[in-house]
Chain A
Amino acid sequence: MASKVYKPVERVDEPKTSGTPVEHEPLPELGYDRIPKERYTTPEYMELEWRHMWSKVWLLGALERDLAEPGDYICTEIGRESVILVRQKDGGVKAFFNVCPHRGNRLVAEGMDNAETFKCSYHGWEYALSGRFKNIPNQELFPQGAPCAGLTELPCAVWNNFVWFSLDKNVMPFDEYMAPLKQHFEPYHFERMTLTRDVTMEWHCNWKTSVDAFNETYHVAATHPQLLWYLNEMDVQIDCYDRHSRYLVPFGMTSPRIDRIPEIPPPLKFMLTEAGLDPASYQGPVDGIRKTVQKHLRENAGAEGRDYSELNDDQLTDDYNYLVFPNITFNTHADHLMLFRHRPHATDPNKMYFDIWMLEYIVDEDELPDERPRHRYYQYGEKSLGMVIDQDGANLPNVQQGMQSAAYEGLWLGDLEVRIRHFHKTLDDYIEGSD
């Protein structure tokens, strides 16, 4: 039987007007040095990261839709800090450290709710939504006066359905930090997508071990063999920007590693069916499914009530996978966004929190969920997160333990793993570039 002849993936070469740029950036020359393992395992490096990186960057805090009404707030934790993001009466959003300046008690628990004011459970110090003092019980007991004006406010930015904050009051402007990704993301219109899943799992690995697992496609063949029948993990376009990066993974075809295809693989049948095509009637080559689905979705978008006008054809099938430095993975698709937030543990470099936010572009009102999905929190292994993430999750604690071995010196990265190298370069810039 004649084996498949490999042809390079055809890609869109012109972006839509004001659409997501498709140009392939020249790969940065970052050498081939080993990445020291201590970055993943030691409290010392964890502390450097905290002081010079986490405290200086913009961080993702919430979905804007979750802060619809004045007083709606989300309390989110990042490392040793806890932050309150709250909708103001004037429509704005403010961010505060979640700490009472009196004796250091945390004001609210992690999660979301609505509040008229924030009142400390310890001695009853009370704050308005604006963060200013509302009431200090028996204020005459403090002849020295109040310690400050109220809660400590943080820089906060609302963009594209997401609320961001920074722990650094002197952080660079948000737009400058995000560049050039605003232009990349806005054509997807995340604001029209609905949250359908909100899960956190505690993983027994460093937060970077988790980031790395979604920053390269080299692991697909060994870790996710089923995906070889669904996507091309070898012919990916990798683009590194100032601090962020992306790769573009063609979906709707098989891997170059698959040289004999007996029939349309089940995941590609699923893709055809999802697009409204009948797998039994499809007569073209299996690797032509990508273009067929793109064409069909484009032609039928109007009838389906979907607006793909700002997206190019590849975006209708492919995974445009972004890392927003330092810790957000955006798997962007025309009809959904699978977002991962990799959060460090407060004290242990061998633990982290893996958040999944699933957003879907649902146009049929009958298909909208009745209510926002409740946030679920799981310990490692307590619950399946789906086949692919379970496969990644199964590797990570073993990688973290293995890295502690005397025999292991650090990450030995290949060309398909260049985003990991670029990520460490960015991390270096923060740690070495600071005073």
Chain B
Amino acid sequence: MFDTSRQANELADIQSRLIFVKVGLLLILVLLGLRLWQLQIRDGMYYQELARDNRTRSIVLEPARGLLFDRNGELLANNVPSFQLYLSLEDVQDRDAVLSKLPEYLDVNVQDISDKLGTRRRGRVKIKSGLTLREAALIESHRIELPGVVIQPEYQRNYPLGSYASHVIGYVGEISESQLKDAEFDDLQAGRIIGQYGIERTLDANLLGETGRKVIEVDAFGYPKRSLSIQPPLAGDDLYLTLDIRLQRLAEDLLGDESGAIVALDPWNGDVLVLASQPGFNSNDLSGGISPQAWRQLLQDARHPLTNRAIQGQYPPGSTFKIVMAAALLGTQTMGATDSITCHGTFPFGKRVFRDWKRGGHGSVDLNKALAESCDVYFYKVGNQLGIDPIASYARQFGLGEKTGIALSSERSGLVPSTEWKQKNRGEPWYLGETISIAIGQGFLSVTPIQMAKMMSIVATNGRVVQPRLLKAARLRRTGNLKEEQPPSTQQLAISSEIFSQIKKGLAAVVTRGTAQRAQSAIVSIAGKTGTAQVVALKDDDDKSEVAKKHRDHAWFVAFAPVEEPKIAVAVIVEHMGHGGSAAAPLAKTLIEAYMNGTNPQPAGSL
């Protein structure tokens, strides 16, 4: 069946071609060998690095933020565990697919996340914080479909007191795009939670702590396999504020639904005991990633809850300014404390007639009576004799017209006008008639509640000027030591103590027999001054009870107590509540009594 010679020929033919097959095969195999040399020897280090990057993830460990306490150690802010949702970008293979699945399990805006991620390909990005337990469980149970989605338990800021002291404490939030570009936040990464308002903001550097870092080995699905290295985070310092939260709460409750502010200082060392501003907000809401709608609502609220009236509210001081006037007239010896004038209820000046608040006048008035009954005509006359620039000089000595420098942002300076100021800002000369308005704390003059409290501290301490401070002590995490803040430096005004004692007598009389008798206390002697800050100028015959509330005057009361040995200086303003004597003075009295009871072991009413 085989033709042997044909077979032999054919076989020889095949054998000759097999050489080519062999050579071709060997060439290809050598090529493969070269490729292996290229991958494993020439580029071996490069692939070694890729393999390492593949399996290692660097995770930033958030430090616990420093705690906040009041002066007595009552907790103001702490941290509670909460679930944060991260995207580990190296582990995400199909970003769009993963993102599109997320809304099935939790409330997120895919577009926002997508914008936030941009073109990033590496690292961890926080995409939602404060997950509910339910959301966390849902995500965790669908891990397989969500490669790269990581839930990390972290601390969330918590304010046990809710909306109390919200303007002082402030709130925290994720570092913003614009903050990231700011040199101040140079060493912070995206996603960090930092203080955004209040003490949280101004003392952020102390509270922040230092991040740690953990390098872990993960498999292809992002599951951690083992920890390679860990550098633990260092928690932030715990801070003790000067606030007395018991008084702070009382102050806010006293203001209630009214808009206003109450500031109380320790006159000797500047400790801010109370810095209340109403209405406020809940710090927890703002720290928990507030919704854009809720945020807009807060911003557009006509009552401005985000404004800290205690340091940002600029009001005419009204009759409380008569304290400065008294110091000025005695200091310049324009008039003696016992010199009297006769008040008929009017002060004619040029073509105008300035009226006293009391029709018919106060009769014969010396300084003591002028302060006690808040006689306007007395101060019209004194103001006219003094002139604006000496008045402005004394006002500045009492800290008006400039920021107190309290450790909170956005403090306003108020305004103390002078001839120079008017020429510069209005391009007009000062008109003498304007001095008459300034003399009773109206006109261009404006002050903040904290400035008023500081002014009362200066009066209470016979001219000791001290900067209000909020930080009392810090527990340093690095050493564990409690570091007391040095009391701020003080400065003594060049006004004699006799002058202060004259003023104090007048202010004590305000409470005992003057305009603020409702501030009279059974347990403590209080000196103070009422004031009415005009919102709109009214004609004499307008019936004030008919005026819409938003046009009504603000009620001031500034005070210190006890008169003989002052321990607290207070400024109260209640917006649109008319007379200080009725609306503001009782609040100050209640606050002062509470303070004296707190510092005095004897129960209330024992005196």
Whether chains A and B associate is no
A interface residues (Cβ-Cβ under 8 A, vs B):
none
B interface residues (Cβ-Cβ under 8 A, vs A):
none
